[in-house]
Structure 1
Amino acid sequence: MEKLKRPVYLKPGTDDFFKMLQREVRETVLKNSFLYRLNIIKSIGLLVLFFLFYTCILLFGKSTPLLYSFYILCGINMIVLFINAFHDAAHGALFKKPKHNEWFTYALELFGSNHWLWIRRHVGLHHAYPNVPDWDIDIKQSDIIRIFPNSPLFNYHKYQHIYMWFIYPLYSLNWIYIRDFKDFFGKKDNYVKKVVDQIPKKEIYKLFAAKVFNLIYLLFIPMLVLNQPWYVVLGAWFAMHLCGSMLGVVALVSTHVDEDAHFPVTDDEGNLSASWALHQMIVTKDFSTDSKLANFLYGGFTHHVAHHLFPGVGHTYYPYITPIIRRYAQEYDLPYTSYPFYHAVRSHFRMLKNKGVKENILMTGEI
């Protein structure tokens, strides 16, 4: 598969705002070592809590209400652990030593996926070129949904703002049992293969091993040890994925793909029209930054502008970085958006409705 020519950002000027922003954040916020320890305590605590809920499935799952309750708690904890702890570790932002971050990223294998693939997909493509058509693979996932202006328009897309309400709750199931295989073995729109020379064979073995292990401990062992019909356990397992996905989708749809989203394209030479830092601010949104509950559940996604500007910094620092970003946005007339999560979700589905029909060329959001 041929290599793609990577987009090129505009070079920043000598008075670039991001250089001054980095200096201020480094000299003030990042010196707070308590926030580093807090992140580690939270991350390890979430991992322990997941196994506690799983143990409760085995101990108390003979009661159907408790079986469903603890499976659902596992699903919610799975997503919170992923969004907070694993996400930070994948960016090298959880621990100071790279090997410790690498060890923690195996939490993704615990849930049946592959951390090697996800890091290349998310860090190497999404963070490098967010919202750039044909490069941001976190947005371009399937022809079922149309988001990018240059994506093919099918007749069924006129209903995507309706049917995606029923598909989004299947997000984790699609990720683990469909999307991973498409990224490893698929040829159509496989941008991972276009930027990776070769997928190591050991990662393919690990992919299958993780999925088998995940099904054994989360599904088959409860079926064997609990005095419950197999279909009751299967239903609880399914409820775990539904509830976890619904929680996670709020973060996925609230940060890059609302009705005012921009999808910058390159010129004929492959150049983008903004510097890297300005591009991050143009295409990224915050949501519910003042909510302590949202900040705990969604970590670096509520303060997503800070995350895209400082991906190597743990999410516990972001509530203190965001006010500085807001000030710079006002001083330098930079784009910055933050809104409640319910507004973000509503705006996303309005965007789906707009993208389900042929666009006016003036509304494509290109810059």
Structure 2
Amino acid sequence: MKLKGKVKFVNKDKNQFFHTLRKRVDQHFIEKNISRHANGTMVLKSVVMLAAYILPFVFILLFQPPFALSLLLWVVMGLGVAGIGMSVMHDANHGAYSSNPRINDLMGCTLNLAGGGVLNWKLQHNILHHTYTNVVPMDEDIQDRVVVRLSPHTVTRFIHKFQWIYAFFFYGILTLYWVLLKDFVQFVSFIRSGVNTQTKTENQLLLVKMIVMKVVYFLVLFGVPVIYFNIPFSYILPGFLLMHFTAGMVLTVVFQLAHTVEGTAHPVANEHGVIENDWAIHQLQTTVNFARHNKWLSWYVGGLNFQIEHHLFPRICHVHYPDIAPIVKQTAEEYGLVYMENESFTAAFRSHVATLQRFGTLPDINEAIG
């Protein structure tokens, strides 16, 4: 299936919402005389997130604490992995961390520390998800996962009626699947679909780099403790799995609270591959903010609770989202558009569970129409 270029947005009504909003946001940065990119707060956060991942591992190697304490340290590492994913590499791979592409590339490679490939992430997230949010089959994040149904336009299976219970287990193993298989699956599928436009030679080099990166990743997390510090493999493996379960749970839940909740739209292109909507308005209709007044949560999740602002302005560093959110909300309301948000994390989580329940029993809309 050729994905690239299959769907396009047509602003039939010539709505000026995004044109007006962009001018107002630009004016905000001019008046404040500040950069759209990282500031001191962002740099400090990057250091903290990287330290939360690296230092507990160093402690385990040097001091070999009791097993229970080591498991706690692996949990901290998992929180660090999630923090790097949500705050550091995410902004960098959007080009939002710095105006210097080299710095973005460097900070974007922090994804390698978690065992993930940068190019595949950019293709899945920056191109497919951000361009075609909640559009099947373009948005990879809601495609048919067999066991978990995240769209009313994918196949309904008997097991889905229980997904609101078991889905969280699969959320927890997401990063482990990513490290072991996902990059290779996407490497093949993105070439076949045309999303990956690199030459054959470039992709051969990419595959070699990806294999080397993953070998190094496993050598560091398993080889170094076992071979150089004489720590039993049976001591490391449970912690490694716990780290990934923690990271996977945090990353996936935070992401789902923005797109798979009550109120979000799941539009389908017409027979000509057209969605008759302005792209920016589409982002408002498929994205929901949550707990944006919770400063501690906003700090940790890297502004992913400001998903509306992020989807409209992905190249602005997330530390600025709390300041531009009122501008986005006011402009949306002026144009008669709904600015969707859940006031708390709990409300967003409940909405996600309710959506899992609804999608678990809702017939495939396409089949119902047929």
What TM-score results when the alignment is normalised by the length of structure 2? 0.90
The answer (yes or no) to whether the contact 1:307–1:315 under 8 Å persists in 2 is yes
Q: What is the CA–CA distance in structure 2 between the aligned matches of 1:105 and 1:141, rounded to whole Å?
A: 28
Offset of residue 300 of structure 1: 2.7
* TM superposition shift of 1:98: 1.2
Do the aligned residues in 1 keep the contact of 2:152 with 2:364 (CA within 8 Å)?
no
For the structure 1 residues 182 and 5, does the alpha-carbon distance in structure 2 shift closer, same or farther, using more than 3 Å as the test? same
CA distance in 1, matches of 2:252, 2:3: 31
RMSD: 2.4
Q: Tell me, yes or no, if structure 1 residue 341 matches structure 2 residue 345.
A: yes
Change (3 A) 1:3 1:306: closer
The structural deviation recorded for 1:215 is 1.2
Matching residue within 35, 38, 50 for 1:36: 38
Point out where structure 2 has 5 or more consecutive residues left out of the alignment.
Answer: none
Q: Distance in 1 between matches of 2:48 and 2:162?
A: 42
Report whether the alignment pairs 1:353 with 2:353.
no
Q: Percent identity?
A: 29
Please tell me whether residue 7 in structure 1 is matched to residue 7 in structure 2: yes
Residues 157 and 323 from structure 1, CA distance in 2 versus in 1: closer, same or farther, beyond 3 angstroms?
same
1:56 Cα offset (Å): 1.5
- Equivalent pairs counted in the alignment come to 360
CA contact (8 A) 2:144 2:150 kept: no
- 1:196 maps to 196
Aligned to 1:66: 69
| Distance change (3 Å), C-alpha of 1:82 and 1:141 | farther
CA contact (8 A) 1:280 1:308 kept: yes
Alpha-carbon spacing, 1:275–1:107, altered in 2? closer, same or farther (3 Å): same
- How far apart, in 1, do the equivalents of 2:364 and 2:220 lie? 51
Q: Give the Cα separation in 2 of the matches to 1:28 and 1:347.
A: 33
Counterpart for residue 185 of structure 1: 188
Q: String of CA shifts for 1:19-61, please: whole Å, max 9, x gaps.
A: 1211111111463249732323322442244322221121222
Q: SS of 2:285's equivalent?
A: helix
Asked if 2 retains the 8 angstrom alpha-carbon contact of 1:58 and 1:225, the reply is no
C-alpha distance after superposition, 1:65-101 (max 9, x if no partner) = 3322222111101110111010000100001111221
Aligned-pair CA distance for 1:232: 2.1
Q: Distance in 2 between matches of 1:157 and 1:192?
A: 29
1:78 aligns with 2:81: yes
How far did residue 177 of structure 1 move?
1.4
Could you give the per-residue CA deviations for residues 194-215 of structure 1, whole angstroms, max 9, x where no partner exists? 3223561111112211211111
1:153-196: CA deviation from partner (whole Å, max 9, x where unpaired): 2222222122213222112112221322221235xxx6873322
Alpha carbons of 1:192 and 1:121: their partners in 2 closer, same or farther (altered >3 Å)? Answer: farther
- Counterpart of 1:27, as a letter, is Q
CA 1:67–1:361: 2 relative to 1, 3 Å: closer
Q: Is the 8 A contact 2:168 2:249 kept in 1?
A: no
